[in-house]
Chain A
Amino acid sequence: MNEAAQSLGWWGVPLAVLAGAIRVSTPFMLVSLGECITEKSGRINLGLEGILVLGAMAAYGTSLATGSPWIGLWAAAFAGACLGLLHAILCSLKRVNDIAIGIALMLFGTGLAFFLGKPYIQPKAPTLPSIPLGFWSDSPQIRAALEINPLFPAGILLAIFLHWAFKNTGWGMRLRIVGDSADAARALGYRILPVRFVATMLGGVLAGLGGAFLSLYYPGSWNESLSSGQGMIAIALVIFARWQPMRCVWAALLFGGAGALGPALQGAGVTSGYHLFNAAPYVLTLLILIVSCSPKRALQGAPGELSLTRS
């Protein structure tokens, strides 16, 4: 993006932010959709950050070993499902707090990824191809901006599907009832644990895929500073999105844009305050939470069983 921004001068900044929004938003989108499913079932998994890092490592290592980034995606999904399952099992024990387990998983997942990923820091693994949607344009800047990664449309399709499925399928209905009131679900004869197990595992799968995006597409390498809290921001995004999948997409795009601001300005020659611009997504998340939350009432749309929003 740096070249594009330079040749377009200041016009490069909004273009780079737009391109960045598409590029950077994908992990936010995938992770927040996953957490949306998990939280709809009444559990919160704060360990997604650790799952994301482990997924990134698993995807990169597998892609390196097999030569196929697509198999890497499967590995990331599998790693995510395993940690999700671990979270689900531990949280179904009596007196075990889901928030604390999430924090522990964050540490464990990250540690495991760094331990196993040490040999993958140097070598270059095959990464995911991109879809050139900018073929109609002569401008290399616009072409570069419209290089879409395959996980981006997949995430949007998933959001549309979830939006529909939460309301219109028996499975979505069951998920929402379990998340809103365990007592009501029991009264209706639903078994609660299987629903929460599946929901937490799906959350883990999507967080793992979000990590795979980081290591296999952008930035497209594996190192220990790969994630900058995307997993955690995504959890805050779900609150902002009021547990609605389509809003998760918009929120992710907004944050992708904010995250792209720092590099875009740097590309346009603004070098001072680089670190401050990089902090923009976190500041934005906090501001949005401050504006959109309220202590007086439970958040609209929040699953009733969620420990996060209970006072």
Chain B
Amino acid sequence: MHASIERLLVPIGAVVIALMVFAVFVSMAGYPPLEVFQLIYKGGFGSGFSWNNTLQRAAPLILTGLAVALPARAGLVIIGGEGALVLGGLAAAIFGNYVLQTPTLLSQILMLLAGAMVGAGWIALCGWMRHARGINETISSLLMAYIGIALLNHFVEGPLKDPASLNKPSTMPIPTASMLGLTPGFDVHIGLLIGVVVAVVAWLVLRFTTLGFALKVVGGNPRAAQLAGLRVGVWLIAACAAGGACAGLAGAIEVAAVHGSANASLISGYGYAGILIAFMARQNPLAVVPVAMLIGGIGAAGGMLQRRLDMPDATVMVLQGMAFIAILASETLMGSPWRKIAARLWGIEIPPEKGKS
């Protein structure tokens, strides 16, 4: 119980400190910090309209957060979700044009599946390179992201270009009938519901099944996992594939619910934002959902900061970077110091935390 309170309080404290540092930074740059915070609140969470905007952004962010959090359970730091996202979107756009004959629901499902499969294969390659060739997956996944973005640009501006798309090269638009609908009860596309469902399922699987346990063993101690008869390589690749599938699904949803075709709008940084979200959620799939809403809200507020205060659009990035650093640094406060303080103050002995030191 104490450990879980600590897991909640320490990151929140870190975010508060990051906000204070950000306030100092903003006022040094000549902007009124209080007004900035007010606008972030208003733009992200202040009205029904801004909530819609926030949730619209949170939908892909939940999935890209999972794309980092799931491989992290197997001890892998994958930061190339952006590549899987854009290729997933491209796959969905291609599929959406070739399955015209099928009923709408089936073609929608096929589009999303195509996106998820392509994303899964793309990131699974990083898992394979890690296992078979010992290549650091952080570096390989980022290189793969650059390659994926280049592939998207190539196809969108070359072989798959819709001749009618002049200003913004795009693939052929998918039929309007195949576009995804809204999440019941919200004015936000169904991607939000899909994201939440995937997060809950991932959490349940990791928490309550032997699958989740095996993944934890593989991530915590690969040697022990091997001794226990687990095929570590298969697990690593599967964890990567699961993460990649989430990112690819995010891209497919962006195409099938928002853009209507694959184009450069897919390269919007959702994949990279997923890294921050997963780390803030401490790689917990369930915690990814509220964190994605928080980050989505801050992102949604970026436009308002730009319009009202004429601030650079990178303002949000600075805040996110500060929060990211503070959260990582706060890791050092987990565990022993609190135990000692608690023991001193109340005479309680909390058993030491299990797992990695």
Q: How far is the CA of A298 from the CA of B322 in the complex (A)?
A: 35
Mark B residues whose CB is within 8 Å of A: 29, 77, 79, 129, 131-136, 138-140, 142-144, 146-147, 150-151, 153-154, 157-158, 222, 272, 275-276, 279, 312-322, 324-325, 328-329, 331-332, 334-335, 357
Does A66 have its Cβ within 8 Å of any Cβ on chain B? Answer: no
Known A93-B329, A101-B328, A289-B129; judge A115-B29 contact (CB<8 A): yes
List chain A residues, Cβ under 8 A from B140.
286, 289
Q: How far is the CA of A216 from the CA of B183 in the complex (A)?
A: 50
B158, A114: Cβ atoms under 8 Å? no
Q: How far is the CA of A258 from the CA of B158 in the complex (A)?
A: 22
List chain B residues, Cβ under 8 A from A110.
314, 317, 321
Stretch at the interface among A122-130, A150-158, A177-185, A277-285: A277-285
A282, B147: Cβ atoms under 8 Å? yes
- B146's partner among A114, A282, A299 (CB-CB below 8 A) is A282
List chain B residues, Cβ under 8 A from A99.
77, 138
| Residues 249-285 (chain A) with a chain B CB within 8 angstroms | 272-276, 278-279, 282-283, 285
Q: How far is the CA of A244 from the CA of B335 in the complex (A)?
A: 39
A235, B146: Cβ atoms under 8 Å? no
List chain B residues, Cβ under 8 A from A232.
139, 142-143
Known A104-B321, A283-B147; judge A236-B154 contact (CB<8 A): no
How far does the Cβ of A11 sit from chain B's closest Cβ, in whole Å?
27
How far does the Cβ of A25 sit from chain B's closest Cβ, in whole Å?
18
**By DSSP majority rule, is chain A's interface helix, strand, loop, or mixed?**
helix
Q: List 28 A-B contacts (CB under 8 A).
A: A90-B325, A93-B332, A94-B332, A97-B331, A100-B279, A100-B328, A103-B79, A104-B328, A107-B272, A107-B276, A108-B324, A108-B325, A111-B317, A111-B319, A111-B321, A114-B313, A115-B314, A115-B318, A224-B314, A233-B143, A275-B151, A279-B146, A282-B144, A282-B146, A282-B150, A290-B135, A293-B133, A311-B222
Q: How far is the CA of A9 from the CA of B319 in the complex (A)?
A: 50
- A295's partner among B77, B133, B317, B329 (CB-CB below 8 A) is B133
Does A168 have its Cβ within 8 Å of any Cβ on chain B? Answer: no
B314, A295: Cβ atoms under 8 Å? no
List chain B residues, Cβ under 8 A from A309.
134, 136
A 283-311 to B, binary, CB cutoff 8 A, 1 in contact else 0: 10110011001111001000000001101
- Considering the complex, give the chain A residue whose CB is closest to the CB of B222: A311
B150, A275: Cβ atoms under 8 Å? yes
A235, B139: Cβ atoms under 8 Å? yes
- A236's partner among B143, B158, B320, B321 (CB-CB below 8 A) is B143
Does A165 have its Cβ within 8 Å of any Cβ on chain B? Answer: no
A229, B131: Cβ atoms under 8 Å? no
How far does the Cβ of B277 sit from chain A's closest Cβ, in whole Å?
12
Known A233-B143, A293-B135; judge A114-B279 contact (CB<8 A): no
List chain B residues, Cβ under 8 A from A285.
143
Known A101-B325, A103-B275, A311-B134; judge A273-B154 contact (CB<8 A): yes
- A279's partner among B138, B151, B357 (CB-CB below 8 A) is B151
Does A167 have its Cβ within 8 Å of any Cβ on chain B? Answer: no
- Considering the complex, give the chain A residue whose CB is closest to the CB of B223: A311
B325, A229: Cβ atoms under 8 Å? no
Q: How far is the CA of A114 from the CA of B269 in the complex (A)?
A: 14
A236, B139: Cβ atoms under 8 Å? yes
A114, B150: Cβ atoms under 8 Å? no
List chain A residues, Cβ under 8 A from B222.
311
How far does the Cβ of A217 sit from chain B's closest Cβ, in whole Å?
23
B134, A293: Cβ atoms under 8 Å? yes
Known A107-B321, A115-B312; judge A295-B132 contact (CB<8 A): yes
How far does the Cβ of A102 sit from chain B's closest Cβ, in whole Å?
8
- Considering the complex, give the chain B residue whose CB is closest to the CB of A46: B138
Does A137 have its Cβ within 8 Å of any Cβ on chain B? Answer: no
Most A CB within 10 A of own CB, among B154, B222, B276 = B154
- Considering the complex, give the chain B residue whose CB is closest to the CB of A297: B134
How far does the Cβ of B147 sit from chain A's closest Cβ, in whole Å?
5
How far does the Cβ of A131 sit from chain B's closest Cβ, in whole Å?
32
A275, B154: Cβ atoms under 8 Å? yes
B135, A289: Cβ atoms under 8 Å? yes
Q: How far is the CA of A101 from the CA of B328 in the complex (A)?
A: 7
How far does the Cβ of A116 sit from chain B's closest Cβ, in whole Å?
8
Q: Which 5 A-B pairs have the closest CB atoms?
A: A108-B321, A111-B317, A114-B314, A279-B150, A295-B134
Q: How far is the CA of A309 from the CA of B276 in the complex (A)?
A: 24
A118, B139: Cβ atoms under 8 Å? no
